[in-house]
Amino acid sequence: MQTETRNENLIFKIPKSLKEGTKFPFCPGCDHGVAVRLVAEILDEFNLREKTIAVSSIGCSVMLYDWVNTDCVEAPHGRALAAATGVKRTNTDKCVFTYQGDGDFASIGLAESMHAALRGENITAICINNTTYGMTGGQAGPTTIMGQVTTTSPTGRNKEYYGYPIKIAEQIALCEGTAFAARGSLDTVLNIRKTKELIKKAFEVQLQGLGFGFVEILSSCPTNWRMTPQESHERIRKELFSVYPLGVYKE
Amino acid sequence: MTKKLTKGNYAIAQAAINAGCDGYFGYPVTPQNEIGEYMSKKMPKLKRAYISAESEIGAINMVLGACSTGKKAMTSSSSMAIALMQEALCYIAADELPAVLVSVMRAGPALGYIYPAQGDYNQAVTGGGNGDYRIIVLAPSTVQECIDLTYKSFYLAQKYRNPVTLLADGLLGQMMEPVEFKDYPYPEIPNDDWALTGAKNREPRAIYSLEAKEEVLEKRVNLLFEKYKVIEENEQDFEEYLTQDAELIVTCFGSLARNVKSAVNECRKQGLKVGMLRPITLYPFPVYKIQELAKKTKKILVIEMNMGQMVRDVQLAVNGKVPVKFFGKAVGKWIEVETICEKIKKEIGNG
Ligand SMILES: Cc1ncc(C[n+]2csc(CCOP(=O)(O)OP(=O)(O)O)c2C)c(N)n1
Ligand code: SF4
């Protein structure tokens, strides 16, 4: 029997802030798509779509402009928060956010990221922590945890060769210009919901002109972790929560 | 209008304000610090953006962001610090954004020193980014031209949606001359068909350089080069001085032209048929003018405060029609009028 799907009966819709027919190119089981969707849902909730200028970064999410239904400019690798600063300072009435990988945000772009927080830019920044450089094939990055095997840490990260990982949310929380800094995860439905709340707050502080709004999101990379999606979420719980505790670090 | 004694760097900064610059983003480096200092005073009062960026990389990417929204934005810097901006400049060119960069040259290579020099011709004209792209480059030789060409930089950047570099040097930046601040003389170019202003009552827009489909990427580069062709046809600019009957033409750019002009005058008094050609647009290079002069003159002498950079563009334009000689030095006392006179006499004497 064929049933008719009526728009008013739909309980799960594509947010207006995502382009119609969006097909994420992410690997199966990758959390990037969930995170992008959450951002789009918040843009809808605050009715921001038409006044938003997004800034994309270089990494697996580089084509952000193909998915978000807002204006968008691509920044060179690591420079999203500098570009976003230029956008926001000359367009103070616009909503500006960056969506970046952890390599982009906290390695090559650490100076740009931290100084945007220190300046207290009224910008929202979302950083996907998947403990590796996803797009280039899973090399050791700034958030790779001790002992983690990657394509450039074949025997595991050790302090002698690689030093220590960065705890991004904690560092950003230390910046006086930061109005909100938190870390969420997408491993369970509950955590997805909680992370959505964090993203909401990170936009709220921008709208209220309070300063820098930041959410770090622990995110799976099944491809480079050489795991199934389920194993990836298991790994987040077992190995990452202790190194990168979830929570709000500055409010 | 009365003339005001003004330092080159201040002249550039005030001209940028007059041109309607909405945002200045910069990081200190001598010999152009007065530009950022002036902007930090003036821009906030005008409710325009001013930021002391964390680095030149930060500054130029802020310019990228601001320009993507159709705002007029600029940065200023020097030499090894301009080197840091090359990646973003290349993105700006690929994205077709109207950015203005002021480059006040010091002596290199690397840290070198704050002595004035002209060693960044290649850096400005050929650039250090990847792939095929061009940046318009204007070279002033007086403080008045610092103003006029800053205006023109903003105009050409908007007109062609292309980055423009104003290439000055430490001498120009630091010297004072009486100048006149006329109003910005150019029309405003509409940008409502491309600028990012929020997707209200229209489809969302995106500005990016990534292009995964090779045919599309090739087409994009070809389109850029169609634009460059138009720029090359329409925007070649130069100053020509006593070239009509000249048997020797001295070619130089920027502030060195001041000494060259004096030397030409001196030699003319002694009956020598010598003239000067000064490219004002280093890109697009005034090839048509040089080709025309190469048909009339016997020899071209290129003089630069570097070890020979613009000379290659002159050679390409002359294409073997007449001999092209070079004299230059990398750093130190600006090549003096007497030295230039000697060189001129030697080249004319050598036939
Ligand atoms: C200047 C520069 N260096 C290197 C690269 C190559 N590169 C592209 S994406 C990337 C890493 C992306 O990792 P991350 O930011 O963690 O994002 P993810 O792909 O994991 O989402 C690198 C190194 C580049 N594009 N530009
Ligand atoms: S490489 Fe990793 S981060 Fe990138 S799309 Fe695939 S799973 Fe996601």
pLDDT in tens, B283-323: 999 999 999 999 999 999 999 999 999 999 999 999 999 99
Using CB atoms within 10 A of its CB, is residue B315 exposed (0-12), middle (13-18) or buried (19+)?
middle
Q: Which amino acid is present at B264?
A: V
- The H-or-E segment that residue B286 falls in is none
Whole-number Å distance, alpha carbon A135 to ligand 1 midpoint, is: 6
Q: Which ligand is nearest to the CA of B87?
A: 1
Contact B71 A85 (CB under 8 A): no
CA B300/CA B310 separation, integer angstroms: 13
CATH no. of B4-199+209-234: 3.40.50.970
Contact A76 B199 (CB under 8 A): no
Which candidate, B90, B103, B220, places its Cα nearest to that of B163? B90
Give the SS3 label for residue B338.
helix
CA B59/CA A206 separation, integer angstroms: 22
Task: Tell me whether 0.85 is exceeded by the ipTM.
Answer: yes
Instruction: Give the pLDDT score at B6.
Output: 97
The answer to whether the CB of A104 is under 6 A from ligand 1 is yes
Q: Which of A56, A76, A86 sits opposite B87 (nearest CB)?
A: A76
Predicted TM-score (pTM) of the model is 0.97
Contact A90 B91 (CB under 8 A): no
Instruction: Give the pLDDT score at B62.
Output: 98
Interface of A to B at Cβ within 8 Å reads 19, 49-53, 55-56, 62-63, 65-66, 68-76, 79, 82-91, 94, 111-112, 115, 119
Within a domain: residue A11? Answer: no
Q: How far is the alpha carbon of B91 from chain A, nearest alpha carbon, in Å?
A: 7
Residue B75 half-sphere exposure toward CB, CA atoms < 13 A: 34
Interface mutation target, options B130, B191, B196, B205, chain A, most CBs of A under 10 Å: B196
- Residue B105 confidence class, pLDDT cut points 50, 70, 90: very high
The answer to whether the CB of A128 is under 6 A from ligand 1 is yes
CA B138/CA B150 separation, integer angstroms: 9
pLDDT by position in tens, chain A (length 251): 556 667 777 778 899 999 999 999 999 999 999 999 999 999 999 999 999 999 999 999 999 999 999 999 999 999 999 999 999 999 999 999 999 999 999 999 999 999 999 999 999 999 999 999 999 999 999 999 999 999 999 999 999 999 999 999 999 999 999 999 999 999 999 999 999 999 999 999 999 999 999 999 999 999 999 999 999 999 999 999 999 999 999 99
Q: Using CA positions, which residue lies closest to atom 1 of ligand 1?
A: A77
Q: Using CA positions, which residue lies closest to atom 1 of ligand 2?
A: A134
Domain housing A61: 26-250
Instruction: Give the pLDDT score at A3.
Output: 62
Q: How far is the alpha carbon of A177 from chain B, nearest alpha carbon, in Å?
A: 15
Within a domain: residue A87? Answer: yes
- The number of the ligand 2 atom at minimal distance from the alpha carbon of A219 is 3
Alpha-carbon distances of B185 from A211, B16, B149, B267, rounded to whole Å: 39, 12, 11, 37
Q: Which of A58, A60, A232 to probe ligand 1 with, by most ligand atoms within 8 A of CB?
A: A58
Which candidate, A130, A124, A63, A138, places its Cα nearest to that of A102? A130
Within a domain: residue A2? Answer: no
B4-199+209-234 shares its CATH topology with B240-349: yes
Residue A74: closest C-alpha in chain B: B208
The residues pairing with A178 across neighbouring beta strands, listed in sequence order, are A212
Give the SS3 label for residue B83.
helix
Give the CATH number, domain containing residue A98.
3.40.50.970
The answer to whether the CB of A61 is under 6 A from ligand 2 is no
- Domain boundary assignment for chain B: 4-199+209-234, 240-349
Share of chain B above pLDDT 70, in %: 100
Q: How is chain B split among helix, strand and coil, in percent rounded to 5? A: 40, 20, 40
Q: Over chain B, what is the mean pLDDT? A: 97
Q: Over chain A, what is the mean pLDDT? A: 96
Cβ neighbors of B73 (< 8 A, separation 6 or more) are A86, A90, B21, B22, B23, B24, B25, B49, B62, B63, B66, B67, B99, B100
Contact A50 B198 (CB under 8 A): yes
- Domains of chain A: total: 1
Whose tokens are 């003089």? That residue is B303
CA A188/CA A237 separation, integer angstroms: 10
Q: Which ligand is nearest to the CA of A228?
A: 2
Share of chain B above pLDDT 90, in %: 98
Contact A87 B65 (CB under 8 A): yes
| Three-state SS annotation for chain A | CCCCCCHHHCCCCCCCCECCCCCCCCCCCCCHHHHHHHHHHHHHHCCCHHHEEEEECCCCCCCHHHHECCEEEECCCCCHHHHHHHHHHHCCCCEEEEEEEHHHHHHHCHHHHHHHHHCCCCCEEEEEECCCECCCCCECCCCCCCCCCECCECCCCCHHHHCCCCCHHHHHHCCCCEEEEEEEECCCHHHHHHHHHHHHHHHHHHHCCCCEEEEEEECCCHHHHCCCHHHHHHHHHHHHHHHCCCEEEEC
Instruction: Give the pLDDT score at A2.
Output: 59
The answer to whether the CB of A60 is under 6 A from ligand 2 is yes
Residue A55: closest C-alpha in chain B: B65
Q: Which two tokens stand for residue B81?
A: 């610090």
Residue A139 half-sphere exposure toward CB, CA atoms < 13 A: 9
Whole-number Å distance, alpha carbon A60 to ligand 2 midpoint, is: 6
Cβ neighbour number for residue B50 with a 10 Å cutoff = 18
CA A40/CA A35 separation, integer angstroms: 9
Q: How far is CA B135 from the centre of its chain?
A: 9
Contact B73 A83 (CB under 8 A): no
Within a domain: residue A47? Answer: yes
pLDDT tens profile B110-145: 999 999 899 999 999 999 999 999 999 999 999 999
Instruction: Give the pLDDT score at B116.
Output: 87
- The strands making up B299-304's β-sheet, listed across from edge to edge, are B238-241, B274-279, B248-251, B299-304, B324-328
The answer to whether the CB of A130 is under 6 A from ligand 2 is yes
Task: Work out whether strand B136-138 and strand B281-283 pair parallel, antiparallel, or are unpaired.
Answer: antiparallel
The residues pairing with A127 across neighbouring beta strands, listed in sequence order, are A100, A216
- pLDDT greater than 60 at residue B13: yes
Within a domain: residue A1? Answer: no
Contact B22 A76 (CB under 8 A): no
Q: For the residues B52-78, what does the mean pLDDT come to?
A: 98
- Residue B252 confidence class, pLDDT cut points 50, 70, 90: very high
DSSP secondary-structure letter at B178? E
Q: How far is the alpha carbon of B49 from chain A, nearest alpha carbon, in Å?
A: 6
CA A98/CA A112 separation, integer angstroms: 12
Which candidate, B314, B305, B340, B326, places its Cα nearest to that of B108? B305
CATH no. of B240-349: 3.40.50.920
